[in-house]
Amino acid sequence: MTMDFTDRLTRVEPSATLAISALATELENEGADVVDLSVGEPDFPTPENIVEAGKAAMDAGHTGYTTSAGIIELREAISEKLADDGLDHGPEEIIVTPGAKQALYEIVQALVEDGDEVVLLDPAWVSYEAMVKMAGGDLTRVDLSETDFQLEPALDDLADAVSDETELLVVNSPSNPTGAVYSDAALEGVRDLAVEHDVTVISDEIYKEITYGVEQTSLGTLEGMADRTVTVNGFSKAYSMTGWRLGYFAGPEDLIDQAGKLHSHSVSSAANFVQHAGVEALENTDEAVEEMVAAFEERRDLVVDLLDDHGVDVAVPDGAFYMMLPVDDSEALRASDDASGDQPRADDQAWCEGALEDAHVATVPGSAFGTPGYARISYAASEERLEEGIERLAEEGYL
Ligand code: PMP
Ligand code: GLU
C-alpha cells in the first residue's frame, strides 16, 4: 500500500543538526574517531544535585501524570526566574513542555496558519523554518551575514521585511547558529517595528544564561512588548539537560489558553519527575552553571585563536556555544571544484560532507540555517577535541 502523506510534512526536511550528528555517530560505530562539532549539546554531565533531585522525585512516587501546564512548584520557580529577568508572568501564564522545541512548536501552531507571514533573522536555527512550514506559514528572511550577524546594523533591512501583513517575528539571542547577542538598541528597533505593525514576537532565550561579558536583555521587558512577546526558555543548554526534555514558554494568558489545548491533546505534560528536577535546577544550580559558562568562554577563545593561527577570521560570538566558520574559500572546496571542472561552487554542504569524510570532523552547513558559505561549529567539546578537530581540518585543507 502507498500511504498518502500530508503536504505539511512532505514540505519539510528532517532536522539537519540531528541528521549530521546521526551520521557522525554512524561513522563512530564503524570505528572512526570523529570529532563531533555538529549538534548543539553541552558535553558536561547534568549537575549532580539535579540528577539526585530527579531520582528522589521518582523514589517519592512522582511518576504519574501532572497538570498539563506543569507542576505548580516548577511554574512558580519559573515565574521567579522570569521576574529576575524583569518579566512579569504568573504561573497561569506559563506552560512547561518536554523541551523548548515543543514550546516553539505549540506557539507556532497557535499563531500561524496558511499564508501567514513569519519573519526570521538569518542565519536562523533549523527548526523555525520547519515549524512555520508545517503550520502553512510563509517565510520572509532577513540576512544578517553582511553585518557580522549583528541585528543593529541591519535594522533597515528588518524594517523592509516587517509589514502589517507580518504575523510573527522570531528573535533568538544569543543566537543559534551565530552566537551573536543582539544589542539593546537592536531589540528596541524590533520593539518599534512590532508595535508599529502589531506583530507578535517569539523571544527564544534558550541561551540567555550562556553569555561572555555581556547580558542579553529579555525582549518582553521593553515598553510595549509585554503583551506581544512570548518568551521561550529551557533546561537543555544552561543546565546540560538535553535528554531530560524540559522547557517552557510564558506569554499572554489568551495565548497560553489556546496553545494549552494543543499541549493537552498532544504531550499531556512534561515528565513528572523531570519537572521536579527542574525546580532544583532553577533554585540551586547557579554555581555549576557559572562553571560551565566559564569553560565555554575559554573554549570560544581557544577556537577563535586556533582559527586565527590558520588565517581564518570569524565573527566572535558573545554567547551560546556556536560560531560560523566561513568556508567559501577553503583549499578543499577549490580542489573539488577543479576536479569537477564545473563552475566554482560556494558549497558549504560539500565542505561539511568532505570535512566529515576526510577529516572526520562533523559540522553543520550554513545553508541549513538559511546562510550558505559557512559551517556551524559547536564548541561544546573538550579543549583537546577542539584542538584535534581544527588541526585535522587544517591538515586536510579545509581551513
Ligand atoms: N531553540 C534553539 C535556538 C535551540 O538551539 C534549541 C536546541 N535544540 C532549542 C530551541 C530546543 O531545545 P530543547 O528542545 O532541547 O529544549
Ligand atoms: N539545538 C541544537 C542544535 O542546533 C540541537 C539539535 C536540534 O534540536 O536541532 O544543534
Per-residue pLDDT of 209-232, as tens digits, reads 999 999 999 999 999 999 999 999
Return the pLDDT at 344: 45
Residue of 105, 126, 244 to test ligand 2 pocket, by largest number of atoms within 8 Å of CB: 126
CB of 206 closer than 6 A to ligand 1?
Answer: yes
Percentage, residues of the chain above pLDDT 70: 96
pLDDT digits (tens, 9 = 90+) for 133-178: 999 999 999 999 999 999 999 999 999 999 999 999 999 999 999 9
CA of 397 to the centre of ligand 1 (A): 32
Q: Which residue has the higher pLDDT, 11 or 338?
A: 11
Q: CB of 234 closer than 6 A to ligand 1?
A: yes
In 153-192, which positions are buried (b, 16+ CB within 10 angstroms) versus exposed (e)? ebbebbeebbeeebbbbbbbbbbbbbbbbbbeebbbbbbe
pLDDT at 346 over 60: no
Q: Measured in angstroms, how far is the CA atom of residue 124 from the centroid of ligand 2?
A: 11
Domains of the chain: residue spans and CATH: 7-45+287-395 (3.90.1150.10), 64-284 (3.40.640.10)
Query: How far is ligand 1, taken at its centre, from the CA of residue 320, in Å?
Result: 11
User: Which secondary structure element, helix H or strand E, spans residue 23, and what is its range?
Assistant: helix 16-29
For range 306-322, the mean pLDDT: 97
Out of 116-120, 229-233, 341-345, which region has the weakest mean confidence (pLDDT)? 341-345
DSSP string, 156-193: HHHHHH--TTEEEEEEESS-TTT-----HHHHHHHHHH
At 334, the pLDDT band (50, 70, 90 cuts) reads low
Check residue 21 and give its pLDDT: 85
pLDDT confidence tier of residue 339, bands split at 50, 70 and 90:
low
- Mean pLDDT, residues 353-380 taken together: 95
**For the chain, how many residues are written?**
399
pLDDT number for residue 216: 97
Would the pLDDT of 237 be above 90?
yes
| Cα separations in angstroms, 383 against 201, 212, 324, 390, 396 | 37, 17, 18, 11, 20
Confidence of residue 337 (pLDDT cuts 50, 70, 90): low
User: Which phi and psi angles does 70 have, rounded to 5°?
Assistant: 120, 155
Output the pLDDT for position 17. 83
Tell me the mean pLDDT in the region 116-127.
Answer: 97
How close is the Cα of 242 to the center of ligand 1, in Å? 9
Q: Is the pLDDT of residue 22 over 90?
A: no
Mean pLDDT of 63-86: 98
CA of 335 to the centre of ligand 2 (A): 31
Residue 14 has a pLDDT of 84
Q: Which ligand is nearest to the CA of 179?
A: 1
Q: Give the number of whichever ligand sits closest to the CA of residue 124.
A: 1
What integer best gives the mean pLDDT of the chain?
95
- Residue 342's pLDDT is what? 54
Q: Is the pLDDT of residue 9 over 50?
A: yes
| pLDDT for residue 15 | 85
**pLDDT reading at 102 higher than 70:** yes
- Is the per-residue pLDDT at 207 higher than 90? yes
Q: What is the pLDDT of residue 345?
A: 46
